[in-house]
Amino acid sequence: MKKTLFIAFLALCNTAVFAQKPKTTKCAYQAPLPKLKGVDSITYDDEIRPILLQNGWDPIAISEEEKGPLFDKDKPEQYCSATICVSSFKDKNKNKLTLVMNDFIQKVELKCFNQ
């Protein structure tokens, strides 16, 4: 009986996981995006960030309170701690792109304004 209940519980958990809304990887109307996840930080600084800017992704400047000792005035959208950096951009449709990186871009989050 316990084994049957356990199997039913696992099946219910799997159903709940698959029933969740998938994370958005593309908005209906958004500025173009290059490949981002897994890009190393040097390539991001030299190649990817300029492409984002050229394609219509505008930096979202961090607040004065967030500016720390690692603040780079050439990248006003980037907040860095000792181990991680976070950059945020928006496009003309108010979609928001957030990148979390250390040596490589670890997480890419796209929030669609109109969805």
pTM: 0.73
Instruction: Specify whether the CB–CB gap between 48 and 55 falls below 8 A.
Output: no
For the segment 73-106, what is each residue's pLDDT rounded down to a tens digit? 899 999 988 899 999 999 999 999 999 999 999 9
Amino acid at 60: I
| Sign of the dihedral defined by the CA atoms of residues 46, 49, 54, 60, in that order | negative
| Structure letter (DSSP) for residue 40 | B
Band (110; pLDDT cuts 50, 70, 90) = very high
Residue 97, Cβ neighbours under 10 Å: how many? 22
For the segment 30-74, what is each residue's pLDDT rounded down to a tens digit? 999 999 999 998 899 899 999 999 999 999 999 988 888 778 889
- Report which of residues 24 and 60 the model is more confident about: 60
Nearest Cα residue to 55 out of 77, 33, 87, 28: 33
